[in-house]
Amino acid sequence: MKLLLHSLALALSVSHGANGQVTVQSGLAHRIERLPGQQEIVPIKLKNIGDKPCAFHIELADLSSHCDSGYRYLPPGSTAESCASWLEAETYDYVLRAHEEMIVKVRMRIPKGFNRSSARACLLVTSKPEKAADKKGPRLNIELRYAVNVLYRNPAVPPVVAMKAKALAVGEENKVWTLRYQNAGNVDRIISSRAHLLNGRGEVVYQTESLHAKGLIPNQCRTVQFKKPDLPAGNYQMVVVSQTDAGEKFGVTHSLKL
21-37 b/e (C-beta count within 10 Å ≥ 16 → b): bbbbeeeeebbbeeebe
What is the full DSSP assignment across 193-236?
A: EEEEEE-TTS-EEEEEE-SS-EEE-TT-EEEEEEEPP---SSEE
Amino acid letter, 178: T
Q: Mind listing the domains of the chain with CATH numbers?
A: 24-131+139-153 (2.60.40.10), 163-257 (2.60.40.10)
Q: What does the pLDDT average to over 242-256?
A: 89
Q: Does pLDDT of 1 surpass 70?
A: no
Quote the CA–CA distance of 33 and 50 in Å, as a whole number. Answer: 36
Output the pLDDT for position 8. Answer: 33
Residue 110 — pLDDT band, cuts 50, 70, 90? very high
Supply the pLDDT for residue 61.
97
Rounded CA-CA distance 203/131 in Å is: 65
- Structure confidence by residue, pLDDT tens digits, 127-142: 998 765 455 555 556 7
Q: What angle do CA 240, 244, 246 make, to 5 degrees?
A: 150
pLDDT, average across residues 193-222: 89
Q: Any bridge partners for residue 236, and if so which?
A: 256
pLDDT band at 77 (very low <50, low <70, confident <90, very high): very high
Give pLDDT, residue 9.
33
Q: Using a pLDDT cut of 70, give the percent of the chain over it.
A: 87
Q: Can you give the pLDDT at residue 5?
A: 32
* Greater pLDDT, 17 or 258: 258
Rounded mean pLDDT, 75-83: 96
Q: Which pLDDT does position 140 carry in this prediction?
A: 55
Share of the chain above pLDDT 90, in %: 57
Region of residue 236 (phi > 0: left; psi between -120 and 50: alpha; otherwise: beta) = beta
Pick the more confident residue, 148 or 223.
Answer: 148
Beta strands per DSSP E along 97-248:
101-109, 118-129, 145-153, 163-169, 176-183, 189-198, 204-209, 214-216, 221-227, 235-244
pLDDT, one tens digit per residue, over 47-75 is 999 999 999 999 999 999 888 777 899 99
**93-96 vs 54-66, strand pairing mode:** antiparallel
pLDDT of residue 3: 33
Q: How large is the average pLDDT for residues 176-203? A: 90
Whole-number pLDDT of residue 132:
56
Q: Comparing 50-59, 87-96, 217-226, which segment has the lowest mean pLDDT?
A: 217-226
Give backbone dihedrals phi and psi of 122, rounded to 5 degrees, phi first.
Answer: -145, 145
Share the mean pLDDT of the chain.
86
Q: Which helix (H) or strand (E) holds 18?
A: helix 2-18
Question: Helix, strand or coil for residue 247?
Answer: coil
pLDDT value at position 20? 87
Q: Which amino acid is at 217?
A: I
Q: Whole-angstrom Cα distance, residue 93 to residue 89?
A: 10
